[in-house]
Amino acid sequence: MTTVLIIVLGVIMIVAAILALVQKSLLSAVIAAGAVSLLASILYLVLAAPDVAMTEAAIGSGLTTLVFLFALNKIRKEDKNG
């Protein structure tokens, strides 16, 4: 059961990672990258590492995505001005 779950999670993670690479829109790419982290945190939980899962969920899918979004916002503003 656990093995099946791990394989399913891994496959979805790979699909999300490829999506993040090929996506034309940067916003969607950032969100896909965040989804990879979120799935990774579930994977850590399944593999009995709750503290790593906590860090991954909070930093990987939370703060990193947000920092990317802020950076994206900044780049767009500077594009418009310059």
Contacts of 30 (CB under 8 A, 6+ apart): 20, 65, 68, 69, 72
Binding of other proteins by 63 (CB under 8 A): yes
Does 42 engage in binding with other proteins (CB under 8 A)?
Answer: no
Considering only 9, 74, 75, 82, the residue that binds other proteins (CB under 8 A) is 74
- Spatial CA neighbour of 36 closest among 54, 52, 12, 55: 12
Q: Does 28 bind other proteins (CB under 8 A)?
A: no
Binding residues for other proteins, rule: CB under 8 A, are 50-51, 54-55, 58-59, 62-63, 66-67, 70-71, 73-74, 77
